[in-house]
Amino acid sequence: MASIAFPSLAKHHTLSTSHTYNYVYQAPASSSHTSILFLHGFPSSCYDWRHQISYFTDKGYGVLAPDLLGYGGTSKPAATEKYKLKSMAAEIVELLDHEGLARVHIVAHDMGCNLLSRLADYFPDRLLSGTFVDVPYSKPGEHFDLDMVNMFTKTLLGYERFGYLEFFVEDGAGDILDQHADSFFTLFYPDSPDLWVENVGPVGAMKLWLLDDRKASLACYVSDEERLMHNKILQGHYNPALNWYRTLVWNMNKEDEIQADFKQILKMPVLMVGPQPNKLEMPGFFEQMKQSVEDLIIKRVSTRGHWIQLEARDELNTMLEEFFACRDPNGKT
């Protein structure tokens, strides 16, 4: 939540949809400096970009990092249809307009990468570049069959990779997450990413972990103080955030995307940043983006976990800075 984690940079704005967004904003230091939009994933808020916000504002970049719809201090509508990617992308653009930002570099992580995908499709002229962290670009209009995906990954990897999605879309899943917040935090920010192989991917595994209130060793890149801040922002509010997964699993974005008839390959520069190969990665997962992106760079940090912006913060910041420097319109950062 911007107002809790970054009080000196926190702002809020109510859009034409009546949704109020809470966000971090720092204007660029000069007209020759560009701005970066950071889009978090689940279970996060703008707080998970803390290392990037401090780094790039110190460098003179403009930074806009919102709590996305359903998270932190931003509106949390109950209706699942409010979380469709087309409408949320339009809301982000309205927020950019409010701050007078015509074109920005966009950096996204996890479910934020789905929103970046649609921003790149619906509003390509607003992107100087797009960076996908850990999760690649998703093609528009494709049908998502969770059962088939889990069968495929079990054949390919030896276990179901996305079984947790069945739990996330269940009635009452948000309540379980709220009631076992510390158990969930240590599972999602674990010391070893291999913990997810048995306790996140397989169908039913995550729910069992939470109901047993199990806990794992906390990742070394997250302090106990940061865990408390995370829980202060998210505990009690998990259910609205899960609507992002409901729209995915229930294919609520498919009709909008088919009607839009996206045919173009992405023309803006794109950076894909992944971890080192691990037990969770499907072969060719990142390389598939070459089919949809004209100007693509794929890089890997030295760590193996999902939370690259936290665990490999310095590496990611350097990669981003070098990527932006080559693609800023003024040739200056």
Question: pLDDT tens digit string along 88-114?
Answer: 999 999 999 999 999 999 999 999 999
Given a contact cutoff of 8 angstroms between Cβ atoms, the answer to whether 271 and 131 are in contact is yes
Nearest to 33 by CA among 63, 7, 5: 63
C-alpha 307/C-alpha 328 separation (Å) is: 26
C-alpha 98/C-alpha 161 separation (Å) is: 40
Q: What is the dihedral of CA 276, 293, 144, 207, to 10 degrees?
A: 30
Q: Angle between the 181-188 and 224-234 helix axes, to the nearest 10 degrees?
A: 120
Average pLDDT over residues 119-148: 96
C-alpha 204/C-alpha 90 separation (Å) is: 35
Residue 330: which pLDDT band, with cuts at 50, 70 and 90? low
Given a contact cutoff of 8 angstroms between Cβ atoms, the answer to whether 43 and 168 are in contact is no
Residue type, 172: G
What are the structural domains of the chain?
1-142+252-332 (3.40.50.1820), 144-250 (no CATH)
pTM assigned to the model: 0.95
Q: What is the dihedral of CA 196, 201, 205, 209, to 10 degrees?
A: 30
Instruction: Answer whether residue 276 shows pLDDT above 50.
Output: yes
Nearest to 73 by CA among 171, 133, 8, 6: 6
182: number of Cβ within 10 Å: 14
Phi then psi for residue 132, to 5 deg, are: -105, 120
Instruction: Answer whether residue 48 shows pLDDT above 80.
Output: yes
C-alpha 16/C-alpha 97 separation (Å) is: 12
Average pLDDT over residues 38-66: 97
147: number of Cβ within 10 Å: 10
Percent of the chain at pLDDT above 70?
97
Q: CB under 8 Å to 279, separation ≥6 — which residues? A: 157, 193, 194, 197
